[in-house]
Chain A
């Protein structure tokens, strides 16, 4: 298997199993490579928009739909708690894990809490809305803001 794909899958499966981001050393051990080689893979995966890295180039900020840092979008499933990068990714986590989940978030204007049950068929009936201010062509200009 291609090395970058091994690294990508190791990162994603760590998030899926634990809810949190892996350390550089954990991924290096997982793929049986040195940290420098994993950092190079991280850079290539960032260029492909697969990962978003922190300023240190070694810590994973995003492996969409998973967030490496705490956010207002929390997802619970299978006894594990996850953070999502945004409202879209909050539904992306149960879609990726293919497990029923509970999404906790909020209305950005009123701060009213949102609790959304999601099954394999999607979220139950809900009149809540999703809104994005950044047009699709600009999403990756600043993906953290988007």
Chain B
């Protein structure tokens, strides 16, 4: 889970490392993920999102491809 300056830098890195290009996430979407996962992490009632909740969070941020499905086995 890494930062990149641009889509072209992601493409270069994936090519060099032999990894497939995955969906790109904007900074505002990443903030949405960070808040969803961690905003209550220091509180006693905090818990990690369950798979159905993860799907809702991802979809709400426009991240709806099978790559984001926490229970998919068809992502390759």
Binding site for B on A (CB under 8 A): 1, 5, 9, 12-13, 16, 48-50, 64-65, 85-98, 105-110, 112, 114, 116, 118, 122-123, 126-133, 135-139, 146
- Cβ-defined partner of A128 (8 Å) among B16, B27, B34: B27
Given known pairs A88-B33, A130-B27, the reply for A137 and B69 (CB within 8 Å) is: yes
Residues of A within 8 A of B12 (CB): 109
Question: How close is A50's CB to chain B, nearest CB, in angstroms?
Answer: 7
Chain B positions 56-70 with a Cβ under 8 Å from a chain A Cβ? 58, 66-70
Interface of A is mostly: mixed
The residue of chain A having its C-beta at the shortest distance from the C-beta of B17 within the complex is A133
Given known pairs A95-B39, A131-B22, the reply for A107 and B3 (CB within 8 Å) is: yes
- Cβ-defined partner of A130 (8 Å) among B30, B71, B76: B30
The residue of chain B having its C-beta at the shortest distance from the C-beta of A9 within the complex is B44
Per CB-CB distance, the 6 closest pairs between chain A and chain B, nearest first, are A86-B1, A91-B34, A122-B31, A135-B75, A109-B13, A92-B38
Residues of A within 8 A of B52 (CB): none
